[in-house]
A and B are shown apart, each in its own frame.
Chain A
Amino acid sequence: MSDIASRVKKIVVEHLGVEEDKVTENASFIDDLGADSLDTVELVMAFEEEFGIEIPDDAAETIQTFGDAVKFISEAA
Protein backbone atom coordinates (compact mmCIF):
# COMPACT_ATOMS: atom_id res chain seq x y z
CA MET A 1 0.00 0.00 0.00
CA SER A 2 1.27 3.46 -0.93
CA ASP A 3 2.25 5.99 1.67
CA ILE A 4 -0.76 8.13 0.73
CA ALA A 5 -3.14 5.19 1.07
CA SER A 6 -1.87 4.29 4.51
CA ARG A 7 -2.14 7.89 5.72
CA VAL A 8 -5.67 8.15 4.34
CA LYS A 9 -6.58 4.83 5.99
CA LYS A 10 -5.25 6.03 9.33
CA ILE A 11 -7.46 9.15 9.16
CA VAL A 12 -10.53 7.11 8.20
CA VAL A 13 -9.95 4.55 10.95
CA GLU A 14 -9.43 7.22 13.58
CA HIS A 15 -12.27 9.43 12.50
CA LEU A 16 -14.96 6.83 11.90
CA GLY A 17 -13.79 4.38 14.56
CA VAL A 18 -13.85 1.40 12.18
CA GLU A 19 -11.63 -1.69 11.92
CA GLU A 20 -8.70 -1.25 9.57
CA ASP A 21 -9.63 -4.28 7.44
CA LYS A 22 -13.05 -2.76 6.71
CA VAL A 23 -11.37 0.14 4.89
CA THR A 24 -11.05 -1.45 1.47
CA GLU A 25 -10.67 0.06 -1.99
CA ASN A 26 -14.41 0.16 -2.68
CA ALA A 27 -15.60 0.79 0.86
CA SER A 28 -18.13 3.64 0.80
CA PHE A 29 -17.73 6.03 3.70
CA ILE A 30 -21.47 6.39 4.13
CA ASP A 31 -22.83 2.96 3.08
CA ASP A 32 -20.09 0.70 4.43
CA LEU A 33 -18.25 2.64 7.11
CA GLY A 34 -21.18 4.31 8.89
CA ALA A 35 -20.29 7.89 8.13
CA ASP A 36 -22.97 10.57 8.09
CA SER A 37 -22.83 13.56 5.75
CA LEU A 38 -21.08 15.69 8.34
CA ASP A 39 -18.45 12.96 8.80
CA THR A 40 -17.65 13.14 5.10
CA VAL A 41 -17.12 16.91 5.40
CA GLU A 42 -14.83 16.34 8.36
CA LEU A 43 -12.91 13.64 6.49
CA VAL A 44 -12.29 16.03 3.62
CA MET A 45 -11.12 18.67 6.10
CA ALA A 46 -8.75 16.14 7.64
CA PHE A 47 -7.39 15.12 4.23
CA GLU A 48 -6.81 18.77 3.32
CA GLU A 49 -4.84 19.27 6.48
CA GLU A 50 -2.83 16.05 6.34
CA PHE A 51 -1.78 16.54 2.72
CA GLY A 52 -1.70 20.34 2.54
CA ILE A 53 -4.11 20.43 -0.37
CA GLU A 54 -7.39 22.15 -1.10
CA ILE A 55 -10.33 19.94 -2.06
CA PRO A 56 -13.06 22.04 -3.68
CA ASP A 57 -16.68 21.25 -2.81
CA ASP A 58 -17.53 19.81 -6.23
CA ALA A 59 -14.52 17.48 -6.02
CA ALA A 60 -15.35 16.55 -2.44
CA GLU A 61 -18.74 15.30 -3.61
CA THR A 62 -17.06 12.77 -5.89
CA ILE A 63 -15.06 11.27 -3.03
CA GLN A 64 -17.41 8.53 -1.90
CA THR A 65 -15.07 5.63 -1.18
CA PHE A 66 -11.66 5.03 0.31
CA GLY A 67 -10.36 4.38 -3.21
CA ASP A 68 -11.83 7.69 -4.46
CA ALA A 69 -10.00 9.55 -1.70
CA VAL A 70 -6.65 7.91 -2.37
CA LYS A 71 -6.99 8.52 -6.10
CA PHE A 72 -7.94 12.18 -5.71
CA ILE A 73 -5.19 12.91 -3.21
CA SER A 74 -2.56 11.06 -5.24
CA GLU A 75 -3.37 13.27 -8.19
CA ALA A 76 -3.57 16.48 -6.17
CA ALA A 77 -0.67 16.10 -3.75
Chain B
Amino acid sequence: MFDLTGKAALVTGASGGIGGAVARALHARGAQVALSGTRVGPLEALRDELGDGAHVVACDLSDPASVEALPKAAAEAMGSVDILVNNAGITRDNLFMRMSDAEWQSVIDVNLTSTFRLCRGVLRGMMKARWGRIVNISSVVGATGNPGQGNYAAAKAGMVGMSKSLAYEVASRGITVNCVAPGFIETAMTDKLNDEQKAKILGQIPAGRMGSGEEIAAAVIYLASTEAGYVTGATLHINGGMAMI
Protein backbone atom coordinates (compact mmCIF):
# COMPACT_ATOMS: atom_id res chain seq x y z
CA MET B 1 0.00 0.00 0.00
CA PHE B 2 1.02 3.60 -0.65
CA ASP B 3 4.07 2.66 -2.71
CA LEU B 4 5.32 5.68 -4.67
CA THR B 5 8.13 4.01 -6.59
CA GLY B 6 8.57 5.65 -9.99
CA LYS B 7 6.73 8.83 -9.01
CA ALA B 8 8.34 12.25 -8.94
CA ALA B 9 7.29 14.76 -6.30
CA LEU B 10 7.88 18.49 -5.97
CA VAL B 11 7.69 19.81 -2.41
CA THR B 12 7.80 23.53 -1.68
CA GLY B 13 9.00 24.76 1.68
CA ALA B 14 11.07 21.60 2.03
CA SER B 15 13.49 23.33 4.38
CA GLY B 16 10.73 23.76 6.95
CA GLY B 17 9.42 21.38 9.59
CA ILE B 18 6.38 20.03 7.76
CA GLY B 19 7.93 20.22 4.28
CA GLY B 20 11.03 18.36 5.39
CA ALA B 21 8.94 15.62 6.98
CA VAL B 22 6.81 15.37 3.82
CA ALA B 23 9.88 15.12 1.59
CA ARG B 24 11.44 12.43 3.79
CA ALA B 25 8.21 10.41 3.80
CA LEU B 26 7.73 10.65 0.01
CA HIS B 27 11.34 9.60 -0.53
CA ALA B 28 10.99 6.73 1.93
CA ARG B 29 8.03 5.45 -0.12
CA GLY B 30 10.19 5.36 -3.23
CA ALA B 31 9.42 8.69 -4.90
CA GLN B 32 12.02 11.02 -6.32
CA VAL B 33 11.74 14.37 -4.61
CA ALA B 34 12.56 17.89 -5.76
CA LEU B 35 13.18 20.01 -2.68
CA SER B 36 12.23 23.62 -3.10
CA GLY B 37 12.67 26.61 -0.85
CA THR B 38 14.51 29.88 -0.50
CA ARG B 39 17.22 28.69 1.91
CA VAL B 40 19.54 26.52 -0.14
CA GLY B 41 21.72 25.39 2.78
CA PRO B 42 19.07 23.33 4.60
CA LEU B 43 17.78 21.98 1.26
CA GLU B 44 21.22 20.72 0.31
CA ALA B 45 21.63 19.17 3.76
CA LEU B 46 18.31 17.33 3.30
CA ARG B 47 19.30 16.23 -0.22
CA ASP B 48 22.58 14.82 1.12
CA GLU B 49 20.69 13.03 3.89
CA LEU B 50 18.22 11.46 1.45
CA GLY B 51 20.80 10.62 -1.23
CA ASP B 52 19.71 9.16 -4.57
CA GLY B 53 16.49 10.52 -5.98
CA ALA B 54 16.62 13.84 -4.13
CA HIS B 55 17.17 17.13 -5.95
CA VAL B 56 17.40 20.76 -4.90
CA VAL B 57 15.43 23.30 -6.93
CA ALA B 58 15.66 26.65 -5.23
CA CYS B 59 12.79 29.10 -5.67
CA ASP B 60 11.67 32.38 -4.18
CA LEU B 61 7.88 32.10 -4.09
CA SER B 62 7.48 35.87 -3.81
CA ASP B 63 9.05 36.23 -7.26
CA PRO B 64 6.56 35.33 -10.07
CA ALA B 65 9.30 34.52 -12.59
CA SER B 66 10.98 32.19 -10.13
CA VAL B 67 7.64 30.47 -9.47
CA GLU B 68 6.90 30.05 -13.20
CA ALA B 69 10.32 28.44 -13.69
CA LEU B 70 10.00 25.98 -10.82
CA PRO B 71 7.82 23.25 -12.39
CA LYS B 72 10.11 23.15 -15.41
CA ALA B 73 13.25 22.96 -13.27
CA ALA B 74 11.70 20.15 -11.21
CA ALA B 75 10.62 18.23 -14.34
CA GLU B 76 14.11 18.59 -15.80
CA ALA B 77 15.66 17.22 -12.60
CA MET B 78 13.26 14.28 -12.23
CA GLY B 79 11.80 13.65 -15.70
CA SER B 80 8.28 14.68 -14.67
CA VAL B 81 6.26 16.06 -11.78
CA ASP B 82 3.59 13.53 -10.79
CA ILE B 83 2.99 14.82 -7.29
CA LEU B 84 2.96 18.47 -6.20
CA VAL B 85 2.91 19.39 -2.54
CA ASN B 86 2.34 23.12 -2.00
CA ASN B 87 3.60 23.43 1.52
CA ALA B 88 5.54 26.67 1.63
CA GLY B 89 3.96 29.43 3.64
CA ILE B 90 4.76 32.57 5.52
CA THR B 91 3.03 34.52 8.27
CA ARG B 92 2.93 38.28 8.74
CA ASP B 93 0.61 38.48 11.71
CA ASN B 94 -0.98 41.69 12.79
CA LEU B 95 -4.28 42.89 14.18
CA PHE B 96 -6.70 43.62 11.40
CA MET B 97 -6.87 47.35 12.12
CA ARG B 98 -3.08 47.60 11.99
CA MET B 99 -2.43 45.27 9.08
CA SER B 100 -0.64 47.00 6.22
CA ASP B 101 -1.35 46.34 2.57
CA ALA B 102 2.17 44.94 2.31
CA GLU B 103 1.55 42.43 5.11
CA TRP B 104 -1.70 41.38 3.49
CA GLN B 105 -0.29 41.12 -0.01
CA SER B 106 2.90 39.25 0.80
CA VAL B 107 0.99 36.49 2.58
CA ILE B 108 -1.55 36.22 -0.24
CA ASP B 109 1.22 36.19 -2.86
CA VAL B 110 3.42 33.55 -1.27
CA ASN B 111 0.74 31.31 0.24
CA LEU B 112 -2.06 31.50 -2.32
CA THR B 113 -0.91 33.00 -5.63
CA SER B 114 2.24 30.89 -5.82
CA THR B 115 0.13 27.80 -5.14
CA PHE B 116 -2.11 28.76 -8.05
CA ARG B 117 0.87 29.28 -10.35
CA LEU B 118 2.53 26.01 -9.38
CA CYS B 119 -0.68 24.03 -9.83
CA ARG B 120 -1.09 25.59 -13.29
CA GLY B 121 2.54 24.84 -14.10
CA VAL B 122 2.36 21.10 -13.39
CA LEU B 123 -1.06 20.45 -14.96
CA ARG B 124 0.09 19.99 -18.55
CA GLY B 125 2.34 17.07 -17.65
CA MET B 126 -0.26 15.51 -15.39
CA MET B 127 -3.01 15.86 -18.04
CA LYS B 128 -0.85 14.08 -20.58
CA ALA B 129 0.07 11.37 -18.10
CA ARG B 130 -3.58 11.00 -17.06
CA TRP B 131 -2.27 10.80 -13.51
CA GLY B 132 -1.42 13.45 -10.97
CA ARG B 133 -1.66 14.30 -7.32
CA ILE B 134 -1.78 17.81 -5.92
CA VAL B 135 -1.75 18.23 -2.16
CA ASN B 136 -2.07 21.76 -0.86
CA ILE B 137 -1.14 22.37 2.74
CA SER B 138 -3.83 24.64 4.15
CA SER B 139 -4.38 25.29 7.84
CA VAL B 140 -6.98 24.88 10.54
CA VAL B 141 -7.15 28.69 10.73
CA GLY B 142 -8.44 28.74 7.15
CA ALA B 143 -11.58 27.09 8.52
CA THR B 144 -11.79 28.63 11.98
CA GLY B 145 -10.14 32.04 11.61
CA ASN B 146 -7.57 33.29 14.07
CA PRO B 147 -7.08 36.73 15.61
CA GLY B 148 -4.07 38.43 14.11
CA GLN B 149 -4.07 36.19 11.06
CA GLY B 150 -6.65 37.75 8.74
CA ASN B 151 -4.18 37.51 5.85
CA TYR B 152 -3.02 33.98 6.60
CA ALA B 153 -6.55 32.67 7.19
CA ALA B 154 -7.73 34.25 3.94
CA ALA B 155 -4.89 32.64 2.00
CA LYS B 156 -5.45 29.23 3.57
CA ALA B 157 -9.22 29.33 3.06
CA GLY B 158 -8.64 30.53 -0.49
CA MET B 159 -6.48 27.52 -1.08
CA VAL B 160 -9.37 25.21 -0.17
CA GLY B 161 -11.81 26.86 -2.59
CA MET B 162 -9.21 26.95 -5.32
CA SER B 163 -8.37 23.28 -4.82
CA LYS B 164 -12.02 22.25 -5.03
CA SER B 165 -12.49 24.18 -8.28
CA LEU B 166 -9.42 22.62 -9.84
CA ALA B 167 -10.45 19.21 -8.54
CA TYR B 168 -13.70 19.53 -10.51
CA GLU B 169 -11.89 20.47 -13.71
CA VAL B 170 -9.32 17.68 -13.79
CA ALA B 171 -11.01 14.77 -12.00
CA SER B 172 -11.81 13.06 -15.30
CA ARG B 173 -8.10 13.10 -16.19
CA GLY B 174 -6.92 11.01 -13.25
CA ILE B 175 -5.70 14.03 -11.31
CA THR B 176 -6.76 14.60 -7.72
CA VAL B 177 -6.47 17.87 -5.81
CA ASN B 178 -6.81 17.84 -2.06
CA CYS B 179 -5.87 19.88 0.98
CA VAL B 180 -4.36 18.93 4.28
CA ALA B 181 -5.17 21.34 7.07
CA PRO B 182 -2.76 21.01 9.99
CA GLY B 183 -3.59 22.33 13.41
CA PHE B 184 -0.72 23.31 15.68
CA ILE B 185 2.39 21.41 14.64
CA GLU B 186 5.84 21.64 16.23
CA THR B 187 7.76 23.71 13.67
CA ALA B 188 9.80 26.89 13.50
CA MET B 189 6.52 28.70 12.83
CA THR B 190 4.98 27.60 16.13
CA ASP B 191 8.30 27.91 18.04
CA LYS B 192 7.77 31.65 17.81
CA LEU B 193 4.84 31.38 20.22
CA ASN B 194 5.61 32.12 23.89
CA ASP B 195 4.81 29.68 26.71
CA GLU B 196 1.63 31.48 27.62
CA GLN B 197 0.36 31.30 24.04
CA LYS B 198 1.34 27.63 23.82
CA ALA B 199 -0.46 26.79 27.07
CA LYS B 200 -3.57 28.52 25.83
CA ILE B 201 -3.47 26.65 22.55
CA LEU B 202 -2.89 23.28 24.20
CA GLY B 203 -5.96 23.91 26.35
CA GLN B 204 -8.03 23.91 23.15
CA ILE B 205 -6.59 20.67 21.78
CA PRO B 206 -8.36 17.53 23.02
CA ALA B 207 -5.24 15.49 22.24
CA GLY B 208 -3.36 17.70 24.69
CA ARG B 209 -0.27 18.11 22.53
CA MET B 210 0.95 19.65 19.33
CA GLY B 211 1.23 17.46 16.27
CA SER B 212 4.41 16.41 14.50
CA GLY B 213 5.51 16.97 10.92
CA GLU B 214 5.44 13.20 10.44
CA GLU B 215 1.74 13.13 11.27
CA ILE B 216 1.10 15.61 8.47
CA ALA B 217 3.42 13.74 6.12
CA ALA B 218 1.42 10.54 6.63
CA ALA B 219 -1.69 12.28 5.29
CA VAL B 220 0.22 13.62 2.31
CA ILE B 221 1.50 10.13 1.50
CA TYR B 222 -2.06 8.81 1.54
CA LEU B 223 -3.42 11.57 -0.71
CA ALA B 224 -0.44 11.18 -3.07
CA SER B 225 -0.93 7.45 -3.43
CA THR B 226 -2.64 5.57 -6.23
CA GLU B 227 -4.91 4.07 -3.58
CA ALA B 228 -6.42 7.53 -2.88
CA GLY B 229 -7.50 7.98 -6.50
CA TYR B 230 -11.16 8.44 -5.55
CA VAL B 231 -10.43 11.17 -3.00
CA THR B 232 -10.54 14.61 -4.57
CA GLY B 233 -11.60 18.08 -3.47
CA ALA B 234 -11.29 16.98 0.13
CA THR B 235 -9.65 18.70 3.06
CA LEU B 236 -8.14 16.39 5.66
CA HIS B 237 -7.99 18.11 9.04
CA ILE B 238 -5.18 16.97 11.30
CA ASN B 239 -5.41 18.92 14.51
CA GLY B 240 -5.71 16.64 17.54
CA GLY B 241 -9.43 17.33 17.69
CA MET B 242 -8.97 21.11 18.01
CA ALA B 243 -11.59 21.69 15.31
CA MET B 244 -13.79 18.74 14.41
CA ILE B 245 -14.86 19.77 10.93
Contact = CB atoms under 8 A, between A and B. Distances in A.
Interface string B158-179: 0000000000011011000000
Contacts of A45: 124, 127-128
Interface string A4-37: 0000000000000000000000000000000000
A38 B173 contact: yes
Interface in B75-133: 124, 127-128
A38 B124 contact: no
A38 B130 CA distance: 13
Nearest to B127: A42
Interface residues of A, number: 3
A45 B169 CA distance: 16
B109 to A, nearest CB: 23
A45 B173 CA distance: 15
Contacts of A42: 127
A70 B170 CA distance: 27
Contacts of B124: 45
A26 B82 CA distance: 37
Contacts of A38: 169-170, 172-173
A41 B170 CA distance: 12
B131 to A, nearest CB: 15
Contacts of B128: 45
A25 B75 CA distance: 38
Interface string B170-193: 101100000000000000000000
Contacts of B169: 38
A41 to B, nearest CB: 8
B91 to A, nearest CB: 35
Contacts of B170: 38
Interface of A: 38, 42, 45
8 closest cross-chain pairs (CB), A and B: A42-B127, A38-B169, A45-B124, A38-B173, A38-B170, A38-B172, A45-B127, A45-B128
Interface of B: 124, 127-128, 169-170, 172-173
Given A38-B170, A42-B127, 6 more contacts: A38-B169, A38-B172, A38-B173, A45-B124, A45-B127, A45-B128
8 contacts: A38-B169, A38-B170, A38-B172, A38-B173, A42-B127, A45-B124, A45-B127, A45-B128
